[in-house]
Amino acid sequence: MKALLLIDDGFEELSVYLPWYRLKEEGVDVTLSTPLMHAVHGQHGYTIEPDAPLRSVNSETFDLLIIPDGRATELLRLRSEAVDLARTFLESGRMVAAIGHGAQVLISAGTLDGRTVTCSPGIRDDVRMAGAFYRDESTIVDGSLLTCRGPDDLPEFCRRLMAMLKAPTTVRVS
């Protein structure tokens, strides 16, 4: 199992580190990718060295895409490589997990129409305008898409993510 975690400057540390380490505990090979191959800085001062630049990522080699929360999503959604990755994953039925503002990348990818999602309350109107059904819940699974409201809901997010990894056939909306 291989996971791709998208990061950029302004990432929300908890929404990167908790899933990253939880996946590593399960033996998942996690690749951290950024638009440019340089260290990125989180909202609270932590720095991460990426493993690969977005432009060199072959999406076919990954089973899971994770888009964490934070101001970084505003930068990522402006990068065609990140938007194309999100679209490719969802269109092929592979797992995508978006935390908080991570749904902004999915909005830019045009992949939320008709889906039921949760996200940071600050962008709920944006996901509605993108054609999604918004629910104010900690996490939502809609097919191969797992969305999370934000860092306070990460324990539930990690539990549901692990369940999805163990049972790849997911039920539409729960």
* Domains of the chain (ranges, CATH numbers): 2-166 (3.40.50.880)
Secondary structure E strands in the chain: 2-6, 29-34, 40-41, 47-48, 52-53, 64-67, 95-99, 116-117, 133-134, 139-142, 145-148
pLDDT in tens, 133-161: 999 999 999 999 999 999 999 999 999 99
How confident is the model at residue 37, as a pLDDT? 86
Q: Is 162 exposed, middle or buried (0-12, 13-18, 19+ CB in 10 A)?
A: middle
pLDDT tens, residue by residue, 93-115 = 999 999 999 999 999 999 999 99
What is the bridge-based pairing of β-strands 29-34 and 2-6?
parallel
Instruction: Output the average pLDDT for the chain.
Output: 94
pLDDT by residue (tens digit) across 22-63?
Answer: 999 999 999 999 998 899 999 999 999 999 999 999 999 999
- 6 sits in the region (left: phi over 0; alpha: psi -120 to 50; else beta) called beta
CA distance linking residue 77 with residue 74, whole number of Å: 5
Higher-pLDDT residue of 172 and 26 is 26
> How far apart (Å, rounded) are the C-alpha atoms in residues 127 and 61?
29
Cβ pair 92, 63 in contact under 8 A = no
- What pLDDT sits at residue 138? 98
Catalytic residue check, 38: no
Q: Which pLDDT band holds residue 69 (cuts at 50, 70, 90)?
A: very high
Q: Which of 38, 41, 44, 101 is catalytic?
A: 101
The pLDDT value recorded for residue 12 is: 97
Q: Is the pLDDT of residue 168 over 60?
A: no
Partners of residue 161 on adjacent β-strands: none
Q: What is the DSSP letter of 43?
A: T
